[in-house]
Amino acid sequence: MENTPPNIDSRTPSPPHGYSRQCDYSREQQLHIVAEFHAHRIRPSRIAYRVGIDIAFIEALIAGEMEEERFPRLVAHYRRQRYRQRMQASNSHNGVTRFELQQRIEGDFQRETDL
**Mean pLDDT for the chain overall:** 82
Name which residue leads in pLDDT, 17 or 29: 29
Can you give the pLDDT at residue 18? 47
Distances (CA, A) of 12 to 6, 9, 54, 80, 113: 17, 8, 21, 40, 42
Other Cβ atoms less than 10 A from the Cβ of 24: the count is 8
Q: What is the CA radius of gyration of the chain?
A: 21
Res 12 pLDDT > 60: no
Rounded to 10°, the helix 55-63/44-51 angle is 140
Average pLDDT over residues 82-107: 89
**Full-model pTM:** 0.69
